[in-house]
Chains A and B, each alone.
Chain A
Amino acid sequence: MRRAVIAFTAFLGALFILLASPAWAEGESLRGTLQNQGQPVNGVKISVTSGDGQPVGEATSDAEGKWEVPVPAAGSYKVTLDQATLPAGTVLKFKDRATLTVQVFEGNYRNVLFALASGDAAGGATEPDSGGSRSAFWTRVAQLAFEGLSLGLIIALGALGISLIFGTTGLTNFAHGELLTVGAFIAFVLNTTVGLHLLIATPLAVIIAAGFGYGQERFFWGPLRNRKTGLVSMMIISIGVAMFLRYLLLFLFGGENVPYEQYVAQDGIELGPIFTTPKSLIAMGIEIAVLIAVGLALTFTRLGKATRAVSDNPALAASSGINVDRIVRIVWAMGAAVAGLAGIMLGTTQILNFQMGQQILLLMFAGVTLGGLGTAFGALVGSLVVGMFVQISTIWIAPELKTVGALAVLILVLLVRPQGILGRRERIG
């Protein structure tokens, strides 16, 4: 009986001691985890004082590197890490941040981070990659040059069509961006709805895109030209066509970003200083091959020579026996096919969206103008310059302004060479 009473009293006493421990406001505390390269750091003393210097509490990090100091109320606190208690070989990454002023909010705990690094107390943190910032800079330049090439090639594919169509018909086709989008979405339908692998869907979509281009010229632009519609009117019409196609795609496929079935979010591979994906490399390979093939065809085949002849002077070409209408239709079919391919490549390396063509239309025009209106090779060079400049300029200007940089280059070049890089001066008289 007596023993029971003692036991009960002891129990009560223990309960009293438990309850008497400081009753802090619910939840408000400062806490954190000390780690050095993923390893917990224990035995480090951390003290907390209130804003006006009154001590509030102390804690020592445990085996998991965790520490917590409850605080009486919301407010501003000074948290100090005692650097003398850091284990040998571990120092604060930023020496001047041994004391942090931290705001604690009502009813919440607040996490505090002391960044630690390996090193000795005298010499400060020995960064494993000191001097790394310089190499990081050059890595970035290399990466941006590579991205510039990648973007430039896509722009070039689109610009080729704009340039040839302008050369042969004089039309500035503002609906050319939508030819990219249409091509990309034809492949999307073949890929997802029909269920073909992207490698099969791509050539099919390019053929359908060519048919779309041919049909556009055969039944729309050709008749308009035959009715002697002015070039400015046709340009305005092309803006209308662009909007019609864009919102038709929005209606059919919605405004969301959609991916193809294959090759989505591939892991990066490292090639020297450059990170890329297998799909980007293959896409670039295809783009270069197509550009070279088109270039060779323009230079050496009868059809290519005829195209350039029409581009130079349609009346003269017609009088020398070239069927101008046929050439123009072939140019439209080719232009739409190449643009469709560019759209598919853009959709594979980026993502599909009804605005994807419109987003690079301005860059395509910049490329065409920079290279010299109406010259296929000029469009190629101009596009690569624009692509490179868009990406590399972000070293000096904020990335959200990158397109502005490319357009500034366009203005500067045209001030010096109004006919563009490879363009010829307009003949007067």
Chain B
Amino acid sequence: MINFVIINIAHTPLIFFFHLFYLRFRKNKIKFVYLINSLILSLIINFINLIIFYNSSILKIENIIIIITIQISAFLIYVEFFSMICRGFSLRILTDVYINKTVPKNKISSIYSSDKGYDWLLNKRLDSITNIGLIIREDYYYKLSNTGRVVSQISIFTKKILKLGKGGE
């Protein structure tokens, strides 16, 4: 069983390599569907290799569940990592300070993301949640959609239970 688990874990970097292929050779880079495709391809290669090295009798229901579980776990870790690289707030602050070598404390917000600043950050976030339908833009107002309302209720409830404060700080 340990060997079987190790072989499956060894296949998990395929998610990263397939996703890297998409990012380097596709125009529209940040698409969730590329991540899902990478997971599916990784699973397929994983299954094929197991059938070649063992035989098809390895594909009992429990083993299939284990393979899928390991791949999904690795996928979620990679998604979190990729999200941090693309959208990580703290990481971007560190990068901006690094690029500028030293920064006055009160200027950090203005140099954020190569001098784009706070307004750009807020607008970018609002645009992305508008695009996925969680909020609706009506004239000068931002309004929660029905889905956005539910998501927000869950978020507020979870923050209360886990004592996370207001979040996003």
Partners in one complex: no
